[in-house]
Amino acid sequence: MDTQLSIQQLAASTGLSPHTLRYYERIGLIQNVARDAGGRRRYTAADLDWLRFLMRLRQTGMSITEMLRYAGLRREGSSTQAERCAMMEAQLAHVREEIARLQALAGFLADKVDGYHDALRISMNAANTEIKHAESRRNPLPERPRKTRRS
C-alpha cells in the first residue's frame, strides 16, 4: 500500500500551508483525496509528486487558472497531449522572455555598480592624495643642509 501523508506532513514536504492544500483541493487542482476513518485527509506519493509539479508551474509564473486548465486536460488523458505540450511551449516562451528581461536588469545593475566602484576609487585616490598633502604640511621635510663653497 502507498504511504499515506497527513495534511501537516504534506505541508512540511512541499512548503505549502495546509490552507493552500485545502484551497487546491477545493478548486480542483488536487482531486480524489482519500480520507481516514476520522475524516482526515490522507495524501499519497502521487499527490506529493503532482503538487511538486504544480509548484514548479507556479514558479514559472503560470497562473492558477492556467494550472486548472492543465490539470483538466491531464485528467482527460492522452488525447490532450498536444494541447498540454502547447501550454508548456507557451510557458517556456514566457520563462525565456522573463530571463531576457532579468538579464537586461542585471546588466543595468552591473553598470551602476561599476559606476559606484569607479567613483569610490576616485574618492579613495583623492582622499589618499589629500592625506599625503596634509601630512607633508604637518611634518615638513627637514631642510637639507646647504653645501658651502670651499674657498
pLDDT, tens only, 133-143? 666 666 666 67
Place of cell 516562451: 93
**Could you confirm whether domain 1-76 is CATH 3.40.50.800?**
no
Which pLDDT belongs to residue 137?
62
pLDDT, tens only, 107-137? 999 999 999 998 888 887 777 777 666 666 6
pLDDT, tens only, 23-69? 999 999 999 999 999 999 999 999 999 999 999 999 999 999 999 99
What is the model's pTM? 0.72
Whether the per-residue pLDDT at 1 is higher than 60: the answer is: no
Which pLDDT belongs to residue 141?
62
